Structure 1
Amino acid sequence: MSTIVFAFAIFCGWLVFDIVKHKKITLESVLSSLVVAVVAGIFWWILEWIF
């Protein structure tokens, strides 16, 4: 459960960062935020599994 919350937080943070940086929301920024969130979620899940 914490992996999903962490990935969602990363997605939102990355999306807000892109919106502030480019002053608009685009499909590319949403997709890049989604990719980063999925990768971060996978790494977080691996860390939870190891420790």
Structure 2
Amino acid sequence: MSTIIFAFAIFCGWLVFDIVKHRKLTFEMVLSSMIVAVLAGLLWLILEWIF
């Protein structure tokens, strides 16, 4: 459950950062935020399994 919350937080943070940086919302920004969130979630899950 913490992995999902972490990935969602990364998605929201990355999206807000892109919106502030570019002053607009595009599909590419949402897609890149989703990709980063999925990768961060997978890395977090792997770290949970290791430790």
Which bin holds the TM-score, normalised by the shorter protein?
over 0.9
**TM (normalized to structure 1)?**
0.99
CA distance in 2, matches of 1:33, 1:10: 8
* Runs of 4+ with deviation above 2 angstroms: none
Long gaps (5+) in structure 1: none
1:13 aligned residue: 13
Q: How many residues align?
A: 51
**SS of residue in 2 equivalent to 1:24:** coil
Long gaps (5+) in structure 2: none
1:50 aligned residue: 50
Supply the RMSD in Å over aligned alpha carbons: 0.2
CA distance in 1, matches of 2:50, 2:13: 26
